[in-house]
Each structure stands twice: as structure tokens, then as C-alpha cells.
Amino acid sequence: MLIPLVVMLLQTGSSHCGLPFYNGFYYDRVMNDKVYLNGVRLMVETSQDAVFSLRGANVTLPCRYYYSPKLDTPRMIRIKWSKLREDNTKAADVLVSSGLKHRSFGDFRGRTRLQRSAPHEVSLVINDLRLRDAGRYRCEVIDGLEDESGTVELELQGVVFPYQPHHGRYMLNFHEAKKACEDQDAVIASFEQLFKSWMEGLDWCNAGWLVDGTVQYPITLPREPCGGKNLAPGIRNYGERHKNLHHFDAFCFSSALKGIVYYLAHPQKLTLEEAKQACQDDKAEIAKVGQLYSAWKFLGLDQCDAGWLADGSVRYPITAPRPNCGPPEPGVRSFGYPKVGKFGVFCYKRS
Ligand SMILES: *[C@@H]1O[C@H](CO)[C@@H](O)[C@H](O)[C@H]1NC(C)=O
């Protein structure tokens, strides 16, 4: 019904009619407040599957748009990429583009661009991925009044580790837990990241904060003190806790390492202060817990010697379990935070 009317108006050159007029196109308002372009529909297509990558890598989040039925003349559109928050309510701007102009925001400045190598492609390229880049992104295409979007999930391959500070168990509120992970070159883990680690065998009987403000812990071998023997293996959930008042441990997440971690060859065992100095003398720095886990997971670091780390803990990484090197599963073994004694040291060198 609308099409003949438009044709008639174009023929007569008249602009006096009851229809609103935008950008040379007529719009018709239909049910659900959806706006259609003369019966032409704008569609946005993204990847259904999550995109997997690693810290430090460059990644492309695919997105394209098209009109149905097809339009012959190119149209001026605007693109807006944003990143959804953990609870999917709010979004933070990542990049906006209009014509040849584009702008990126915050932490994404200087690291993002639009990839338009195919017609109608508006994929987002993010360089030098950071741990906090993981999450869900929205690709929004705006054509006049029409606004369509799709989302893409970016997942980083990584490792989750439980973290307890030197002053003991259940000492961190949510904000302190977040900071504790950041101090270890990691971020506080998401439920998805913890779940994935549980699938890979993580079993830890102390509850820790996750980024969504819940407190949970992963159990693969049900036992009495960890939710009960009769409860199936799974993630035990204490639910949402008060972010200031309640205290637990933390689950931290790290991905690939930008650099190397090594056990320093040194003639004698060291105190923590001597260990820090020894790494500096080697033009490196004493490694953080997240860096040791990352080197264990991604670089296969295996060392059956306990060494100091920056937070004052003593640990060692085993990828090929053997007698006298801890339990029969691969893992990072911990001696806690020794108050006395001398050990080796793990150093970190940036690449
Ligand atoms: C990422 O892209 C930048 C710029 O194009 C390039 O210099 C860098 O080598 C790339 N990094 C990786 C890991 O491929």
C-alpha cells in the first residue's frame, strides 16, 4: 500500500502528505514500535559461536549488515560497537563510526578499528587483547531511524586460580578480591571461566568471589566439608554476597603471558628480600602468582623446586607429575606464605 503512494509522490515532487519524511526515505511505523524502511528491513549478522583468543593477540569480532530486500544504492549508516557489562544491563562504548570518521573510547583507544574488507562488513578489530576485554560485545547499525544490533561473545583462553592473601583464609571483601587478582597480573574470574576450569578438573574447597558479585567454589570430588558427600560434583554457589561486608577468597583469571617466567639459577637459597634483588640483578622482576600460573599453563613451565613469588608466597609449577613433586595431577603447588626459611625464586622477564 505504501509503495504506490511513494512512487506517486516522487512523480509529482510533492512533499505534502501525512507521512514523516527522513533522509529521503519514508518510514512506516508498525507493531512493536519497530520501524521499517518502505518495507525494506535492515538486518545485522554476527557470529553465533564465541570467538576465542589469548591475551596479547589481535582479534576480529565479525559483524555485517544487509537490507532485505536488497538495496541498490549505498546508504549512509552509523556503526556503534559497545561492550555489555557482566549483568548485560549496561553497555560501555567501544567504537563509533560515521562515514569516514570513527572514534574509540577508554581502554580501547588506539587498539580498535573497523574492518570493512567486504561490502557491508563492519567487524571490530581489537589489538593487543587485555584480560578485561573478555565478554559480550554489541554491534549496532543505525540507518536513519532504523537501529538493529547483534552480539558476539569474546572468550579468552586462560587459567583460573584460587587466591588467598598472606593474612589468611576469607579475608577479602569483593573490592579487595578484585584488587588482589589485579596485583597478581590477573583479573577476578567470571562464572564462565570458573565453570570451564571446573570442567578441566579444578577442585577447590574454599569459596571465592567472582566478578558478578557471587561467591562460589568448584568441586569435582564431592566430600563432607565441601557441600556434602551426596551432592553431585559441580560449582557450589553461596549466591550474591554483600560486596563490602562479607569476606571470602578470590578466583582469579589469567591468559597467555607476555614474556617468560623462569626459575633463577642461583648458588644458594634466598630470603624474600634477597630473591627480589636477585631477579633485579638478572634484569627481571620477581614473578607474580598469575604469571607463574600462566607460564605453567601456556609455556609448560615445570620446575620441582619451590621459589618465592612477589606476594611472599612460595610455589612451584608441575606439568609432568612425578614422585617427590607433589600430587599425581599437574598443577601449581603452594607452600603458603612461609615466615622463615630460604628458597629459590621465579623471575619474570617482559618480552
Ligand atoms: C597486531 O596488529 C598490530 C598492528 O596491525 C601488529 O603490529 C602486531 O604485530 C599484531 N600482533 C599480533 C600478535 O599479531
Quote the pLDDT of residue 38: 63
Query: Ligand 1: which of 53, 58, 115, 255 to mutate, most ligand atoms within 8 Å of CB?
Result: 58
Give the domain extent around 22: 1-39
Does the CB atom of residue 280 touch ligand 1 within 6 A?
Answer: no
- Contact between 53 and 26 under an 8 Å Cβ cutoff? The reply is no
Number of the ligand 1 atom closest to the C-alpha atom of 57? 13
Last residue of a domain, one of 235, 254, 273: 254
Number of the ligand 1 atom closest to the C-alpha atom of 127? 1
Does the CB atom of residue 54 touch ligand 1 within 6 A?
Answer: no
Does the CB atom of residue 299 touch ligand 1 within 6 A?
Answer: no
Verify that 121 and 226 share a domain, yes or no.
no
Listed in sequence order, the residues at least 6 apart from 125 whose beta carbon sits closer than 8 Å to its beta carbon are: 58, 59, 60, 61, 112, 113, 114, 115
Secondary structure in 3-state letters for 266-308: CCCCECHHHHHHHHHHCCCEECCHHHHHHHHHHCCCCCCCCEE
Number of the ligand 1 atom closest to the C-alpha atom of 56? 13
- Count of domains forming the chain: 4
Verify that 288 and 333 share a domain, yes or no.
yes
Verify that 87 and 146 share a domain, yes or no.
yes
State the 10-residue block means of pLDDT for the chain, 351 residues long: 36 36 39 55 93 97 92 87 84 92 95 94 97 96 90 96 97 98 97 95 96 96 91 94 98 96 96 98 98 97 98 98 95 96 97 85
* Eight-state DSSP code of residue 226: G
Listed in sequence order, the residues at least 6 apart from 124 whose beta carbon sits closer than 8 Å to its beta carbon are: 60, 61, 63, 81, 94, 95, 112, 113, 114, 115, 137, 139
Verify that 303 and 267 share a domain, yes or no.
yes
Count of other CB atoms within 10 angstroms of residue 273: 9
Verify that 181 and 97 share a domain, yes or no.
no
* Eight-state DSSP code of residue 172: B
Verify that 212 and 120 share a domain, yes or no.
no
Verify that 46 and 35 share a domain, yes or no.
no
Last residue of a domain, one of 132, 156, 180: 156
Verify that 168 and 208 share a domain, yes or no.
yes
Residue 58 sits in a domain whose CATH number is: 2.60.40.10
Quote the pLDDT of residue 340: 92
Does the CB atom of residue 57 touch ligand 1 within 6 A?
Answer: yes
Number of the ligand 1 atom closest to the C-alpha atom of 58? 1
Does the CB atom of residue 220 touch ligand 1 within 6 A?
Answer: no
- The residue type at 85: R
- The residue type at 151: T
d(CA 186, ligand 1 centre) in Å: 22
Verify that 28 and 56 share a domain, yes or no.
no
Question: SS3 for 201?
Answer: coil
Taking CA atoms only, the protein residue closest to ligand 1 atom 4 is 127
Last residue of a domain, one of 219, 254, 289: 254
Q: How far apart are the first and last CA of the chain?
A: 65
Taking CA atoms only, the protein residue closest to ligand 1 atom 10 is 58
Verify that 204 and 113 share a domain, yes or no.
no
Verify that 60 and 164 share a domain, yes or no.
no
Residue 241 sits in a domain whose CATH number is: 3.10.100.10
Does the CB atom of residue 58 touch ligand 1 within 6 A?
Answer: yes
Verify that 126 and 137 share a domain, yes or no.
yes
Query: Ligand 1: which of 54, 114, 127 to mutate, most ligand atoms within 8 Å of CB?
Result: 127
Quote the pLDDT of residue 181: 98
d(CA 182, ligand 1 centre) in Å: 25
Rg (CA), the chain: 27
Helices (H), 157-271: 174-183, 191-199
